[in-house]
Structure 1
Amino acid sequence: MFTGLIQETGTVKRIKKVSQHIELTCSASRELLQDYNIGDSMAINGVCLTAIEVTDSDFTVDIMPETFQKSIFSDLRIHAVVNLERAMSAKGRLEGHIVSGHVDTTTRLIKKVKKENSIILTFYYPPQVQGEIVAQGSVAINGTSLTVSAVTAGSFSVSLIPYSMNHTNLGQLKQGEFVNIETDILGKYIKAIMGTEKTQILSKYTGE
């Protein structure tokens, strides 16, 4: 489990296709990798992945084809900047929100506007997550826990404070670029429960 509080950014050093999977190597600081071992989890741009190799300055993870195609990893290039977060320890503070590291889909940045000391990012609202992104709710974008500031029929917006701009890759986003998104797990459960109750009510009155 993760919190969506990015610990640092890393750089993609190598992308290697091996049989039915992809090996991705990223740079990271000695501090982040100090007690990071083979088999441990790391969220890279919000995707939970397992280490297969670790050195003092980089680490390598396995990416399955489905994950590769479902995320922005399919468009990653060498030297790309990625957000990194280690899995939360049992003693850690949950200061963002519960992030599973299971990306739902990707979406496109459609507007970027500077407002005072913040930046407002507006993204296309993918139909796959309809009803799971609500104003004042939480969403993870490239693994970064953010509060949704506005929602329309076709888009949603978040606000980046200077810290988030400087400590994640979101401040570098350009209009038209794609990001990974994971909606709030609590919202998913509520949506599933409400959908089940609606089906049961319809079945009761239709006899199905």
Structure 2
Amino acid sequence: MFTGIIEEIGVVTDLRKDLNNLHISIQSGITSALKIDQSVSHNGVCLTVVNINNDEYTVTAINETLEKSNLKDLKVKDKVNLERAMKLGDRLDGHIVQGHVDQTAVCTSIKEEDGSWIFTFNYDSKLNNITIEKGSITVNGVSLTVLDSKKDSFSVAIIPYTYQHTNFNTFKVGTVVNLEFDVLGKYVAKILEQNLLNT
């Protein structure tokens, strides 16, 4: 379980294919606090630490994860948003984030607005994921509030701190990002869908 509050930006140092899996090595300031078998969110994807070497650690993404996320597009030197799993009893500063990416989206617009930025993303609505105005959304692991919710798009406002301390500062129009929709909203949507089928 995560909160969507990014701790650190890691840098990809190595990518190694192994059959359908991808071993991803990351250099980060939190490596010394990690241990083997620990869960870490990478651009919103929960992955398990399998190796640690000085200030670098390695995680493995399986084929299903690669198909649903932007991790398959990673290149050496790319920046990755990192968050360790939350501790029981800590304050929940973002929202409940599982680290299970639902789908990807494409950045379609970036507008600077006197010290903040409005990012707009389009996603495939055929997968039945939804946003709601002022609801929560996770973009590359960052907990954010939805603006301008539409059937297949939404916007988020990014303050300077978030812009500087996440990989949002690397986004361009066309950048592919990972989305995790609000788990509470997913349950409500599923219940409504089942009720409609039963009537």
Of stretches 147-156 and 82-91 in structure 1, the one that deviates more from structure 2 is 147-156
> 1:52 — aligned with what?
50
> 1:28 — aligned with what?
28
Q: Which runs of 5+ in 1 are unaligned?
A: 202-208
d(CA) in 1 for partners of 2:138, 2:126: 15
Secondary structure of 1:73 counterpart: helix
Secondary structure of 1:163 counterpart: helix
d(CA) in 1 for partners of 2:167, 2:96: 20
Asked whether the equivalents of residues 5 and 85 of structure 1 are also in contact (C-alpha less than 8 Å), the reply is yes
- For 1:183-194, list aligned pairs within 5 A: 183-194=181-192
Q: What code does the residue aligned with 2:14 have?
A: R
- The structural deviation recorded for 1:33 is 2.7
- When residues 154 and 188 of structure 1 are mapped into structure 2, their CA distance, relative to the original with a 3 A threshold, is closer
Q: Which runs of 5+ in 2 are unaligned?
A: none
Asked whether the equivalents of residues 129 and 183 of structure 1 are also in contact (C-alpha less than 8 Å), the reply is no
> 1:99 — aligned with what?
97
- For 1:11-26, list aligned pairs within 5 A: 11-26=11-26
Q: TM-score, normalised by structure 2?
A: 0.96
> 1:205 — aligned with what?
none
1:53-88 alpha-carbon deviations (Å, 9 max, x no partner): 013311100110111122111111000000000000
- When residues 3 and 81 of structure 1 are mapped into structure 2, their CA distance, relative to the original with a 3 A threshold, is same
> 1:78 — aligned with what?
76
The match for 2:162 among 148, 161, 164 is 164
Percent identical residues: 39
The size of the alignment, in residue pairs, is 199
d(CA) in 2 for partners of 1:199, 1:154: 23
- The structural deviation recorded for 1:2 is 0.3
> RMSD over aligned Cα, in angstroms?
1.2
Matched, 1:123 2:121: yes
The match for 1:138 among 136, 145, 148 is 136
d(CA) in 2 for partners of 1:125, 1:44: 20
1:69-111 alpha-carbon deviations (Å, 9 max, x no partner): 2211111100000000000011221110011000011110000
- When residues 37 and 149 of structure 1 are mapped into structure 2, their CA distance, relative to the original with a 3 A threshold, is same
> 2:9 — aligned with what?
9
d(CA) in 1 for partners of 2:57, 2:110: 32
1:147-193 alpha-carbon deviations (Å, 9 max, x no partner): 00112344210000011100000122000110000000000000011
Q: Which has the larger radius of gyration?
A: 1
Q: TM-score, normalised by structure 1?
A: 0.92
Secondary structure of 2:147 counterpart: strand
- The structural deviation recorded for 1:129 is 4.8
